[in-house]
Chains A and B, each alone.
Chain A
Amino acid sequence: MFKVEDIRKDFPILSRKVNGKPLVYFDNAATSQTPQQVIDVIVDYYSNYNANIHRGVHTLSQEATDLYEQARQKIQRHFNAKFSHEIILTSGTTHGINLVANGFSSLLKKGDEIIVSALEHHSNIVPWQMLCERTGASLKVIPMTQEGELEMAIYDTLLSKNTKLVFVNHISNALGTINPIETIIDKAHKVGAAVLIDGAQSCAHLKPDVQKLNVDFYVASAHKMCGPTGVGVLYGKEEWLKKLPPYQGGGEMIAEVTFEKTTYADLPHKFEAGTPNICGGIAFGAAIDYMNSIGFDAIASYENELLAYGTKQLLTIDGLKIYGTSEHKTSVISFNLDSIHPYDVGSILDKLGIAVRTGHHCAQPIMDYYKIPGTVRASFSFYNTKAEIDSLVEGVKKAKMMLS
């Protein structure tokens, strides 16, 4: 039974005050808060297991290795990967994208094409531009509509035998749109292109099944789903991960080293050079356990309720415009008040203890499309309440009054 009052007790930060007011945390799309269950795992790790993993013969090292590899298996089960060695632990979504982009440097040539979407985060644009510069491949963009959806008919026209890669986010961070990735993946595969899905935003709201999606690469970050920062996951199909060259050289990723030649370790270690974020990886596993204990169906249904309520209440404010009005979206509301700068609205809300994000949300092409400097973005999580949304609405009204 989903009870938000009980869930909130798991998150110590939710009881703190900001600027003398109870914290209302609506910046979940940037980073989610951490439940005590995950904090305990972090404390327990440094109190009882801290050691460097893999190849240590002493007990601490073996225990830490076991915990780390168990976390990898939890992540595997969560995303339903076929093998645990298809799970590469990274420092986060951006790292995963760069790892794949770098790997494709040696597989692409002039004339090849890469497709991205107009809804991407900068971290899913810039690595591909750099890849194009290195290889001579060119970048095509699936445009967006006023509602913040992808123009799927144009996607069809962009696909050709030259298309080698398609990169789209599962959910837009700036607008909350859920993209039709099943169709995008199927169509890309028909022309022989590989697909990477950026799951940074989706992993907090739904449980992707990478086998069912038949996706080639899927990336996500722990800190968007109640885990710590600095750790994330790259899922890659075994055949692709075998094909891609290593990203970084170092310890952990080698089988044998001489000055003449180095042979690389098997998956997943081939892509995990150096000492990893061991504690982070273990805590990532704990975060996945935590979210599954609440259940993604319950999370989605409650968050949809918050989205509907928030949308309705915010729209009662005169002059408030919501950007991203797709019927398929998660609990993100991006908005502006008349011509008031989002920075000003965000500054007043902060004084009231309300944390929202303002600016271009690292998605400047979307802001250029709407011809605005940015938006105020409130993103709700399963531990937020309707009463908090009421505080936001009051806060926005106050900001409007002060700034108009």
Chain B
Amino acid sequence: MTIEDIQNEIIEEFSMFEDWEERYQYMIDLGKDLPLIDDQYKTESNIIKGCQSKVWVHAEMKDDRVVFTADSDAIITKGIIAILIRAFSNQHPKDIIDADTSFIDKIGLKEHLSPTRANGLVSMIKQLKMYAIAYQTQLK
């Protein structure tokens, strides 16, 4: 599936929720369920410091696709990470570079991606794209 397809699928899923509580509960459950990153990658150098919650990101290349794993110490942040990873992981670098993130607005989680939210998510998306750019260069 393309990034856009996955994003549309996520939007579709979220459209079934009636209010913020259901949306948040779903996100919290996503955050709880997924072992997002291997502990060996939760290093100081993989950490993205938001002012409040920490985010770890690790990337590797498998068959010309970038595979991301990530984690956070806050569960709501972790839930959003799970959503982002679902959309961006296992994709070609170029598609990741070109992808937009407006689907986050469409599923009612816009406030978590505000640059002032201090949860590390904005920096995380930047970091995902940076990895994609780096791997794209390698492919050439």
Interface residues of A, Cβ cutoff 8 Å to B:
19, 340-344, 347-348, 350-351, 358-360, 373-374, 402-403
Contacts and interface: CB of A to CB of B under 8 A. Distances in A.
A19 B19 CA distance: 11
B75 A403 contact: yes
Given A359-B52, A402-B25, A403-B28, A341 B20 contact: no
Nearest to B53: A343
Given A351-B21, A373-B53, 4 more contacts: A343-B77, A350-B111, A360-B52, A402-B24
Interface string B82-113: 00000000000000000000000000000110
Contacts of B20: 19, 351
Contacts of B53: 341, 343, 373
Contact of B118 (A348, A359, A373, A403): A359
Contacts of B24: 347-348, 351, 402
A254 B21 CA distance: 60
B21 A402 contact: yes
Contact of A343 (B28, B76, B111): B76
A341 B73 contact: yes
Contacts of B16: none
Interface residues of B, number: 18
A351 B25 CA distance: 13
B73 A373 contact: yes
Nearest to B120: A343
B21 A343 contact: no
Contacts of A343: 52-53, 74, 76-77, 119
A360 B54 CA distance: 13
Contacts of A350: 111
Contacts of B21: 351, 402
B1 interface: no
B117 to A, nearest CB: 9
Contacts of A373: 52-54, 73
Contacts of A402: 21, 24-25, 28
Contacts of A374: 52
